[in-house]
Amino acid sequence: MAVNLQALSPKLINLMLDTVFVVDEENQIVFVSDACESLLGYRSSELIGTLITRYMHPDDLAATRASIVRVMRGQPHIDFRNRYIRKDGSIVHILWSARWYAEERVRIGVARDVTALMQAEEELRFLAHHDPLTKLTNRSLFYDRLAASLSAAHRHRNSLALLFLDIDDFKMINDTHGHAVGDGVLCTVAQRLEDCVRETDTVARMGGDEFAILLTEIQSADAVVAKVEKIRMAMNEPLGADFKGIKMPSCSIGVACYPIDGEDADTLLSYADSHMYRIKKRRSAAG
C-alpha cells in the first residue's frame, strides 16, 4: 500500500521534540508545531497571527533582527542562539536553524530549548574562575584582574593596593574541630571580606587559608589603612552560634601599594606576602 507522505507531514512535524515555526516576511507567525507549548508555554492557536518579535527577549532583539535579515537574504543560519520570554514570564534559551523559502515567501525555523545546556556552560565558566568552597575569585582570575588593574592604573596614573591575608593558627582549627568546621570558618572569612570592600574591588581565595584583596582607585594611603582596620574589626567579630563557642582566629594582613611598593604584579604580590609574614612572625614572637 502506498503511503501518502504529504498527508503525514503535519503529523510528523508535530511529533518532533523541537519546535517548528513558519513566519512570513512581516514576522507574523503562520504556523507553529505542537512542541511550542512546551517551549514557550503557548498553544499554537495563541501564536498564529501574532508577531514572533513580540516574544523575543528585548536584549536579544537587535541581534535577532540581524539574523532575520541574513536568513531572508538567502543565507541559512543554523547555529543562532537567543532568548525568548515564556508565557509565565521566565526566560528560555533557544538554538535556531532557519532558512528562507523565496517561492513561498516564508522562513522556516526549528527551535531547540538549550536552557539547561546554557546553565551548565555558565556553571562551568564560573567554576573555572572561582573557588568551589567560598565562591570567591580564584588565583587565576585574580592574577588576570590584577594585571588589568595595573594597566589601567598606569594609564590613568591611579593608585591601587594589594592586601594579602592569612588566618593565624588555622591548622589548629582543622586538627581540633575537623575540616567541616574549618571550611565553615573559611566561608565566614570570605563573606566578611566581601562585606568590607566595594563591588569594584576583588576578593580572592589564593589557596588554603590565604586570601588576597585588590583595592582599585585608591585615593590615599590613609584610605588603605582605614580599609585594613575595617577588615581587622570584621575578623574580630565572634563566630555565630553554629560554631558552638569556637573562637574566631586572628589574621595577619600584608599590604603592597602601587606604584610605591612595586609596579608589576609579581613584585606587588611578593611584597604583600613578605609583609604579611613579617607581621605574623612579630605576632608569634609576642606570644
Active centre residues (catalytic): 209
Looking up cell 508555554 gives 41
Residue 227: closest CA among 213, 237, 239, 238:
213
53, 27 contact by CB (below 8 A):
yes
- Across 80-93, b (16+ Cβ under 10 Å) vs e yields bbbbbbeeeeeebb
233, 253 contact by CB (below 8 A):
no
Distance CA 19, CA 236 (A): 58
Q: Which three cell numbers stand for residue 57?
A: 527577549
Neighbouring CB atoms inside 10 A of 262's CB total 18
Neighbouring CB atoms inside 10 A of 196's CB total 19
Q: Which three cell numbers stand for residue 51?
A: 508577531
DSSP for 23-86, please give it. Answer: EETTSBEEEE-TTHHHHHS--HHHHTTSBGGGGB-GGGHHHHHHHHHHHHTT--EEEEEEEEE-
